[in-house]
Structure 1
Amino acid sequence: MTMLRLPRVKDAPAAHPARRMRIVATGMLVAMAAVFAIARATAHLHPAIGFVQAFAEAAMVGGLADWFAVTALFRHPLGLPIPHTAIIPRNKDRIGDTLAAFLRDNFLTPAVVARRMRHMDVASAAGRFLASPSGGDGRLREGASRLAADILEALDQERLGGMVKGAIGQRLRALNLAPLIGQAIEAAMRDGRHGPVLDGIIHWADRTLEANEHLIRAMVHERAGKVLRWTGLDENLANAILSGLRKMLAEMAADPEHSLRLKAEEGMAKLAFDLQFDLEMQAKVAGIRDEILDNPAMQRWIEGMWEQARAGLLRAARDPGRA
């Protein structure tokens, strides 16, 4: 005959010891009730049986009291809505707040935290992790990434975005752009990198002249006298003006030493100097900077830049292996 083999204690799940303890306690309570009943029925046989009855009665009362007290902490005994039972479920929020206040006031004080932190070698731990970031099973990195992502998502997006935009705007407003622009122009002229800029301006002027040729002809026609209009000389005058302007632009594009081109370079050099040392010019640049930052389009661009950065941070934190 094959006998059933009960599971050993070390093989049983964690919940089995508690279940066995409840069975043992209930069995002892039933046993004490049986002893009390037998002692009560046979008390007339011997005076010593009274002591056994009193012991069993005390054991039953103590067991019932303990059962009721423990059960009342977590639920209603026997499912009955008895007052002052299920204490923890009904008061869990208040208990949590009280416990948090106790921990904060007694264990999270600056003196206690400082004393604990004083014994922590954070630099050494960080150095060991950076020296072998792939060591272990990667749980530290994954946990830190998830924590960073959870914190970033838990923060108020509107308030955080407003803080970031405000910080970016404050930094940009505190930036003195005029000297930087002046130094960039001066460096470009010193290295000869301003030539393509002038060539681009000349080509732009030539295209603009070609696109607005009718406006120049109309202007000459309106300002010419009746005699010139009657003889048609206004058309010749307009052709001469347009031809002269085209020739001048072509010569400026072909000759780096053209007088007008040299004048333009002198103007650029003066502009670079004024941007670096003229307070009035710096104030004008600062005013333009502030107008650009106050533009709603610029505000939307900064907001979009922050949203893209936030989305990138969340993607990197959620999937650090791919990042």
Structure 2
Amino acid sequence: MTRKSGIDGATNDGAAAYRRMRRVAAALLVAMAILFLIARLLADRHPAWGFVQAFAEAAMVGGLADWFAVTALFRHPLGLPIPHTAIIPRNKDRIGTTLATFLRDNFLTPAVVARRMAHVDVASAMGRFLAAPPARGRLWKGASRLAADVLESLDQERLGGMVKTALAQRLREVNVAPMLGQALTAAMAEGRHAPLLDGIVRWAGRTLDANTALIHAMIHERSGALMRWTGLDATLADKIIEGLDKLLNEMIEQPDHPLRVKAEEGLARLAEDLQHDPVMRERVQSVKAEILDNPAVEQWWLGMWEQIRAGLLRMVRDPGDAISGKLGEALRQLGETLQHDVMLQRTINRFARRAAVGIADDYGDGIVRLVSDTIQGWDAATVTLRLENAVGRDLQYIRINGTLVGGLVGLLIHLIDVAL
């Protein structure tokens, strides 16, 4: 037979253990009664049976008293409406309120949550989980199925439009000109603009090589008849091409070439204007708005979102494959960082502590009311059954201990009586 899992399984296990211990306690009480009868019948044959009788008699009294006390918590003993019995069913609502108050005062006040969270290292726990994620674990699989169901249930076109609108709105609000200017200034300060200039010059050289015939044709058309008849137009075109090619090569080979210096000065002025010139800023904003309003960009947004969505679906459908790829490597690196970066740990733990305190402050009373209302909404039989299954096993130990301790007390009293 397969054992049930979850709350039902735990309830069934508790009920079975409770029934076992109840049978043991009852069997012990019956054994004491039988022992008492045997000792009573044999009391005249030997004085030792008097001690046995005293032990069994007191054990029966102790066992019966504890049986009555334990039973009175949950029901009327033998079905008799004895006062102050069936305590739990009669006080169900008060128990729910008391339990909720206990939960609030000891677990859900901001001060208590902050004190307990101060000793919880959330960052390290996250780091250990990410460094060795259980790709085949129940939690990971459940989260993957939930994420896949959510992604598949959402309207693709509407969600893509929402993503596009949100991103576009965010980009419209961002003033990109100062950021571009700062990035350009930083790149020039570190010499990272040099490859860009070299690339532009090389592109100009390749363009010149690819259009030599066009330059010859332009000069030929604009030359007079004498120059065309003597061939000077072709010579002039060759000299122009040769001069431009030499100029471009010199700009590549000489970092301090005058034209290159002029280009760098122009980049520096551009960086300054991007950061401080209102006219330049407005011009950049206008260009950005035109780009965002372009239908081609809108289609690009939608296509990009669909690619992201498809990638997310592939990842959540096969979390093991995702973890073994680049994403998994990034998560493992993050996990290692969380375990060893003290400053990052402190930041995350502080955030987790503040979040938990905020939840307790905002929703603590609601959780308390939920517990109280839930218990008060249960019928008395349900409350009795659940509490009895939860703590009944331990209460049966009270019956067993009461039987044995009562017997020992009776034996001690009989010993004192004989001695006197």
Give your verdict on TM over 0.5. yes
- 1:302 corresponds in structure 2 to 301
Q: Which amino acid aligns with 1:197?
A: L
Structure 2 unmatched runs, 5+: 1-103, 323-420
Alignment of 1:201-212 (within 5 A): 201-212=200-211
Alignment of 1:174-253 (within 5 A): 174-253=173-252
For 1:290-322, what per-residue CA distance to the aligned partner results, in whole angstroms no more than 9, with x for missing partners? 222222332222212222222333334344444
Q: State the distance in 1 between where 2:215 and 2:320 align.
A: 65
- For residues 126 and 290 of structure 1, do their structure 2 counterparts lie closer, same or farther at Cα, with a shift above 3 Å needed? farther
TM-score (norm 2): 0.43
Q: State the distance in 2 between where 1:126 and 1:148 align.
A: 27
Where does structure 1 differ by over 6 angstroms across 4 or more consecutive aligned residues? Answer: 123-126
Measured after TM superposition, the shift of residue 139 of structure 1 is: 3.7
- 1:255 corresponds in structure 2 to 254
Structure number with greater CO (CA < 8 Å, separation at least 6) is: 2
Q: Identity of paired residues, percent?
A: 58
For 1:4-32, what per-residue CA distance to the aligned partner results, in whole angstroms no more than 9, with x for missing partners? xxxxxxxxxxxxxxxxxxxxxxxxxxxxx
Q: State the distance in 2 between where 1:217 and 1:236 align.
A: 9
- 2:62 corresponds in structure 1 to none
Measured after TM superposition, the shift of residue 270 of structure 1 is: 0.8
Q: Which amino acid aligns with 2:154?
A: L
* Pair 1:273 & 2:272 matched: yes
Structure 1 unmatched runs, 5+: 1-114
Q: Which amino acid aligns with 1:241?
A: I
- For residues 139 and 275 of structure 1, do their structure 2 counterparts lie closer, same or farther at Cα, with a shift above 3 Å needed? same
Q: Which amino acid aligns with 2:272?
A: F
Q: Which amino acid aligns with 1:311?
A: A
TM-score (norm 1): 0.55
Q: Highest Rg: 1 or 2?
A: 1
Measured after TM superposition, the shift of residue 148 of structure 1 is: 3.2
Measured after TM superposition, the shift of residue 140 of structure 1 is: 4.1
- For residues 170 and 233 of structure 1, do their structure 2 counterparts lie closer, same or farther at Cα, with a shift above 3 Å needed? same
- 2:147 corresponds in structure 1 to 148
Q: State the distance in 1 between where 2:127 and 2:239 align.
A: 77
Measured after TM superposition, the shift of residue 273 of structure 1 is: 0.9
Q: Which amino acid aligns with 1:263?
A: K
- 2:161 corresponds in structure 1 to 162
Alignment of 1:280-291 (within 5 A): 280-291=279-290
Measured after TM superposition, the shift of residue 236 of structure 1 is: 2.1
For 1:147-193, what per-residue CA distance to the aligned partner results, in whole angstroms no more than 9, with x for missing partners? 33323322222222211111111112222222222112211111112
Alignment of 1:22-41 (within 5 A): none
Q: State the distance in 2 between where 1:206 and 1:315 align.
A: 46
Alignment of 1:115-130 (within 5 A): 119=108, 127=122, 130=126
- For residues 239 and 320 of structure 1, do their structure 2 counterparts lie closer, same or farther at Cα, with a shift above 3 Å needed? closer
- For residues 140 and 284 of structure 1, do their structure 2 counterparts lie closer, same or farther at Cα, with a shift above 3 Å needed? same
Q: State the distance in 1 between where 2:213 and 2:234 align.
A: 11
SS of residue paired to 1:256: coil
Q: Which amino acid aligns with 2:241?
A: L
SS of residue paired to 2:255: coil
Q: State the distance in 2 between where 1:191 and 1:183 align.
A: 12
Measured after TM superposition, the shift of residue 130 of structure 1 is: 4.8
Q: State the distance in 2 between where 1:238 and 1:226 align.
A: 16
- For residues 234 and 320 of structure 1, do their structure 2 counterparts lie closer, same or farther at Cα, with a shift above 3 Å needed? closer
Q: State the distance in 2 between where 1:297 and 1:277 align.
A: 31
Measured after TM superposition, the shift of residue 233 of structure 1 is: 2.1
Q: Which has the higher helix share?
A: 2
- For residues 155 and 252 of structure 1, do their structure 2 counterparts lie closer, same or farther at Cα, with a shift above 3 Å needed? closer
Q: Which amino acid aligns with 1:272?
A: A
SS of residue paired to 1:265: helix
For 1:205-245, what per-residue CA distance to the aligned partner results, in whole angstroms no more than 9, with x for missing partners? 11111211122222222222232223322222222222222
Q: Which amino acid aligns with 2:260?
A: R
Q: State the distance in 2 between where 1:257 and 1:300 align.
A: 45
- For residues 129 and 241 of structure 1, do their structure 2 counterparts lie closer, same or farther at Cα, with a shift above 3 Å needed? closer
For 1:87-124, what per-residue CA distance to the aligned partner results, in whole angstroms no more than 9, with x for missing partners? xxxxxxxxxxxxxxxxxxxxxxxxxxxx9xx9597x97
- For residues 276 and 139 of structure 1, do their structure 2 counterparts lie closer, same or farther at Cα, with a shift above 3 Å needed? same
Q: Which amino acid aligns with 1:249?
A: L
- For residues 152 and 129 of structure 1, do their structure 2 counterparts lie closer, same or farther at Cα, with a shift above 3 Å needed? farther
Q: State the distance in 2 between where 1:231 and 1:218 align.
A: 16
Measured after TM superposition, the shift of residue 267 of structure 1 is: 0.8
SS of residue paired to 1:257: coil
Q: State the distance in 2 between where 1:240 and 1:209 align.
A: 13
Q: State the distance in 2 between where 1:197 and 1:300 align.
A: 30
- For residues 192 and 153 of structure 1, do their structure 2 counterparts lie closer, same or farther at Cα, with a shift above 3 Å needed? same
